[in-house]
Amino acid sequence: MVNKVYLIGLGLIGGSIALSIKQKNPSIHIIGFDINVEQANLARRIGAIDEVSTELFPDLSTIDMIFLSTPVQQTINIIEELKSQNLKKDVIVTDVGSTKVKIVECANKHLNGKIKFIGGHPMAGSHKSGILAAKPHLFENAFYILTPSKYVTPHDVQSLKDVLEGTKANFIEMTPEEHDEVTGVISHFPHIVAASLVYQAKNHEEEFPLVKRLAAGGFRDITRIASSNPSMWRDILLHNKGPLLHLFDEWILEMERIKDLVAKEEAENLFTYFQQAKQYRDGLPEKQKGAIPSFYDLYVDVPDYPGIISEITGYLAKEEISLTNIRIIETREEIYGVLVLSFQTEKDRELAIKCINKYSSYETFMM
């Protein structure tokens, strides 16, 4: 029976985990720590935690479960220090890191059978960060991967799932190696590709000054993940070095293959290449949350006149629909521009469509 939880790191992920636990099991007492004291105090004010710890390692002798919601390298450092703490027998320790091999290796090395370490990776996120962006339903229908260390029993894993039941996530167990290979393909390497596309555009800007202006719209959208936290992605790439080096080799071969098709003007093979890519992409799950946060954008054709943004956002506020981002593209005097509204969930976007259609005649569309 889990009565006390200690949570280190009270940002978006840690805060959302805490809120989901409190929503499902309000009797569980949650103590939280964050290096940013203001974040920790905010977490207590919004009801995510019951108590703020002023130190990283308070008295942990009565804690049943510890969550490490910190960057990968910090998680490894904390695991190394936990071995010298006075911990409750059979305490369960888990993390939320985007790579798993080095973290679980560290746990196997430094934590004995008294401490049950279960690697964790909730594959969901948001365009916002910090405790105020945390939501109890952030992980709903998302994959939550668990990679147990060698001392863990099925009962321990079930105990963790029971505490996290309020997340409404889909739990999947796999080895740390499988996790790092899979996330390398569908998350880590795509971030590298997005950043490289941005670099390519940047390198051509001096010769073609219009590049930056024309890169709005589609180019900006397909490279969105290049705006992710640089420190976090530096650490992820270094900690998942092995699988990523293999993916670099595969990617270079793939580029050489398509380059050869273009050089030889093999029209039929080029068509097949894009057709097969389209078929596979069109067959990907639409409703399921994946490793990279989805973007739920709504495009609204609006006239360019003072107050148009407050008019549209006023409609959404009236219906209590939350926005995560807003921008206008290609707006010129006396002609229609496009207002781009971003939402946290597909449900919010659908509600926004109904709301705007209800209060105005502006055309809405998705891309």
- Mind listing the pLDDT tens digit of every residue in the chain (367 residues)? 899 999 999 999 999 999 999 999 999 999 999 999 999 999 999 999 999 999 999 999 999 999 999 999 999 999 999 989 999 999 999 999 999 999 999 999 998 777 899 999 998 876 567 898 888 988 988 899 999 998 899 999 999 999 999 999 999 999 999 999 999 999 999 999 999 999 999 999 888 988 888 887 678 888 888 888 888 899 999 999 999 999 999 999 999 999 999 999 999 999 999 999 999 999 987 666 665 666 678 888 777 677 878 888 888 888 888 887 787 765 444 445 678 888 877 788 888 898 988 888 877 776 5
Q: How far is CA 62 from CA 86, 158, 190, 216, 314, in A?
A: 9, 20, 42, 54, 49
For 56, 115, 261, 275, the CA distances from 265, given in Å and listed in that order, are 62, 61, 6, 17
Q: Do the Cβ atoms of 291 and 123 come closer than 8 Å?
A: yes
* Spatial distance between the Cα atoms of 173 and 137, rounded to a whole number of angstroms: 21
Note down the domain range covering 251.
Answer: 179-282
Q: Identify whether residues 163 and 274 lie together within a single domain.
A: no
Instruction: Give every CB contact of residue 135 below 8 A, 6+ residues apart in sequence.
Output: 16, 19, 126, 344
- Token readout for 2 is 């889990």
Residues 6 or more apart in contact with residue 72 via CB below 8 angstroms: 97, 98, 99, 102, 103, 235, 236, 239
Query: Per the structure, how many domains does the chain have?
Result: 3
The verdict on 20 and 154 lying in the same domain is: yes
Residues 316 and 330 in one domain: yes
Residue 9 lies in a domain: yes
Instruction: State whether 143 and 32 are in the same domain.
Output: yes
Tell me the Cα Rg of the chain.
23
Q: For residues 32 and 121, state if they share a domain.
A: yes
State how far the Cα of 138 lies from the Cα of 140, in Å rounded to an integer: 6
110 within a domain of the structure (yes/no): yes
Residues 116 and 227 occupy one common structural domain: no
Instruction: Report d(CA 350, CA 335) in Å as an integer.
Output: 26
Q: Are residues 38 and 121 in the same domain?
A: yes
Identify whether residues 19 and 167 lie together within a single domain: yes
Q: Are 167 and 19 in contact (CB under 8 A)?
A: no
Residues 252 and 278 in one domain: yes
| Tokens encoding 264 | 């030889």
CATH code, domain carrying 302: 3.30.70.260
Residues 332 and 326: their CA atoms lie apart, in Å, by 17
Global pTM reads 0.80
d(CA 282, CA 65): 41
- Are both 24 and 151 inside the same structural domain? yes
Instruction: Tell whether 194 and 143 lie within a shared domain.
Output: no
Residue 289 belongs to some domain of the structure: no
Are 19 and 156 members of one domain?
A: yes
Does residue 291 sit within a domain?
no
